Amino acid sequence: MAADESYPNELKYHREHDWARIDGDVATLGVTWYAQDALGEIVHFEPPEDGGSLAKDESYGEVESVKAVSDLISPLSGEVVEVNAAVVEAPETINEDPYGDGWLVKIRLSDPAEVDDLLDVEAYKQLVDEQ
């Protein structure tokens, strides 16, 4: 079952519809409710390599629906410390729980100051309303 629309207050957001949950120098990344809804039922998650490095605003992987492919844009720079293997096996988890079990990767931040560039929930909701 697809989740209901929501945008948690505690997350930071990127304009390309990706979210980050900051915990010290580690960030958990995923896609927002808006992104999964626009894509439809997600059937493939192409993850980055474990230990690989992600650059802010650049593609680090892909998610695919039956009809379309979408780049995953990293909201922050850092080194991949964990890929969510459960989502690789069951990509529909992203539709079911985009902020919980549907998280995609965890990274160790190389420049924590980049967090200041991200949108808070109000700014992101406004961006979604304008789409």
Partner 1 sequence: MQTLRRTPLYERHASLGARLVPFAGWEMPVQYTSIVAEHRAVRTSAGVFDVSHMGQLSLAGGGAHDYLQARLSNDLDRVGAGQAQYTLLTNERGGIVDDLIAYRRGSDDYLLVVNAANVDADHGALDETEDVSAEWALLAVQGPEALQRLGIEVEPFTFREDDVLGIRCLVAGTGYTGERGCELGCSPDDAVALWDAILERGIVPCGLGARDTLRLEVCYPLHGNDISPERTPIEAGLGWACALDKEFTGVDVLRRQKEEGPAEKLVAFVMEEKAIPRQGMRVAEGGEVTSGSLSPMLDVGIGLAYVRAELAEPETKLSIDVRGRPKAARVVRKPIYRREES
Name the residues that contact partner 1, by CB under 8 A: 40-41, 43-44, 46, 62, 64-67, 69, 88
CB of 68 to partner 1, least distance (A): 9
In whole angstroms, give the CA distance from residue 72 to residue 79: 15
Strand arrangement of the beta sheet that strand 26-31 belongs to: 12-14, 18-23, 26-31, 105-109, 78-83, 53-54
Q: At CA 109, angle to CA 16 and CA 49, rounded to 5?
A: 75
Residue placing its CB nearer to partner 1 in the complex, 15 or 44: 44
Judged by beta carbon, residue 22 or residue 88, the one nearer partner 1 is: 88
The residue (of 26 and 88) whose beta carbon lies closer to partner 1 is 88
With respect to partner 1, which residue has the nearer C-beta, 57 or 62? 62
Give least dist CB 43 to partner 1, A.
5
Which one-letter DSSP state was computed for residue 99? T
Q: Decide if 91 contacts 68 (C-beta within 8 A).
A: no
CA–CA distance, 91 with 41 (Å, rounded to integer): 9
Least CB distance from residue 36 to partner 1, whole Å? Answer: 12
Instruction: Quote the least distance from Cβ 105 to partner 1, whole Å.
Output: 17
